[in-house]
Amino acid sequence: MSIRDLARHLDISIGTVSRALNGKSDVNPETRERVLAAAKKLGYVPNQSGRSLRQGTTNTIGFMIESTIETADNGGSFFMPVFEGVQSVFRRHHLDLVALLCGTDEDPSAYLNRVVGRRFVDGLIISATTRNDPRITFLLDRKIPFVALGRSATGGAYPWIDLDFEGVAATAVTRLVNFGHNRIAIGVPASDINLGYVFQDGYKHALAANGIPFDPALVLPAHSNEEGGYQVASAMLAQKHMPTAVILVNENMAIGLYRRFYEAGIHPGRDIAVIGFRESTQSRFLSPTLTCFRISLRDLGIKLAEALLSTMPAFRNNYPQERVELIWPMELVPGESDVLKRTA
């Protein structure tokens, strides 16, 4: 149903139909009413592609995620609730959200360049920021509104929100030290993703604050999935003095780690202390239930959307004008996995 079809149906000129749809005052009120009624009935929707050229807006915001191994394994359960929160804000402004999927073997910067060229988004949310992230410079240079989910060492003034990886590491280390542990391993991402660096820094600071020397042998890089957790457990089992506790940067790792320890006759929550990362729908159904950290991903999505809109001329008046640079706190959810209950 194009405007041409609509005009033909009504037997009115295209120009008149267009002026009626756009609320121009030189159209007879009865005609306008007929046009609007027919447009509604026939499901006419303006060609956004033409509108975008005239108005420079598409009413669409892109959320760029990378469908790498990392996100393929666990990105979905993370991103879906975030999308929900973002959408709840966008709905107020009749904005649609699309997920821009950057493929595994594609350079994220080249992808972003192309997406921006297509001009079907008015603004962007980027995620999985790397330690040095050229996308940030690219978007700043072009004055394209964006917000980053994740920090980066790349400079520039832009809004970002990140999870409190330092806080999680510090809380987990201190909790385990209080339980009597001093050989505490961490399972960290094998990739260049910035959160890996931040998490390790938090771990080191917390060890130092508790007077425990840092031992690089206890930093175990692995994929952020079940297989990675299985490998972390294997690496721990192979050590001469096995660590008595482990903190994982991803909750899916816990399932593989549990399995590997069970195979070795070692019971998590009895023989070894485990702290996972984010509370998921599974955490409290695992045996033992997983000590982890709670975050409302929907609220995170809401805040991301608001941080973005506060930078966009068409929407900024609805939101506070400070640039959002926010470390999102996560709340400890004690489980059975890190309090060792000796049966003997």
Contact residues for its own copies, defined by CB under 8 A: 1, 43, 45-50, 52-53, 58-60, 62, 67, 71-81, 83-84, 87-88, 91, 96-101, 103-104, 106, 113-120, 138, 142, 225-227, 229-230, 252, 255-256, 258-259, 262, 281-282, 285-287
Are residues 278 and 329 in contact, defined by beta-carbon separation less than 8 angstroms?
Answer: no
Are residues 333 and 275 in contact, defined by beta-carbon separation less than 8 angstroms?
Answer: no
* CA–CA–CA angle 331, 222, 137 (5° rounding): 75
Distances in Å between the Cα of 58 and the Cα atoms of 53, 255, 307 are: 9, 43, 19
Question: Closest separation between CB of residue 177 and its own copies, Å?
Answer: 29
Question: Closest separation between CB of residue 22 and its own copies, Å?
Answer: 15
Query: Which residues touch 130 (CB under 8 Å, ≥6 apart)?
Result: 152, 192, 193, 194
Q: Which is nearer to its own copies, 60 or 210 (CB)?
A: 60
Q: How many CB atoms lie under 10 A from the CB of residue 178?
A: 9
Q: Which is nearer to its own copies, 93 or 259 (CB)?
A: 259
In eight-state DSSP terms, residue 78 is H
Q: Which is nearer to its own copies, 86 or 170 (CB)?
A: 86
Q: Which is nearer to its own copies, 200 or 252 (CB)?
A: 252
Are residues 194 and 129 in contact, defined by beta-carbon separation less than 8 angstroms?
Answer: yes
Question: Closest separation between CB of residue 202 and its own copies, Å?
Answer: 26
| CA proximity to 248, closest of 329, 188, 335 | 188
CA–CA dist 56, 51 (Å, integer): 8
CA–CA dist 14, 247 (Å, integer): 66
Q: Which is nearer to its own copies, 281 or 321 (CB)?
A: 281
Q: Which is nearer to its own copies, 15 or 103 (CB)?
A: 103
Q: Which is nearer to its own copies, 28 or 49 (CB)?
A: 49
Question: Closest separation between CB of residue 76 and its own copies, Å?
Answer: 1
Question: Closest separation between CB of residue 58 and its own copies, Å?
Answer: 7
Question: Closest separation between CB of residue 62 and its own copies, Å?
Answer: 8
List the alpha helices (DSSP H) in the chain: 3-10, 14-21, 29-41, 48-55, 69-90, 108-118, 134-141, 165-178, 194-209, 226-237, 252-263, 297-309
Question: Closest separation between CB of residue 313 and its own copies, Å?
Answer: 18
* CA–CA–CA angle 110, 117, 109 (5° rounding): 15
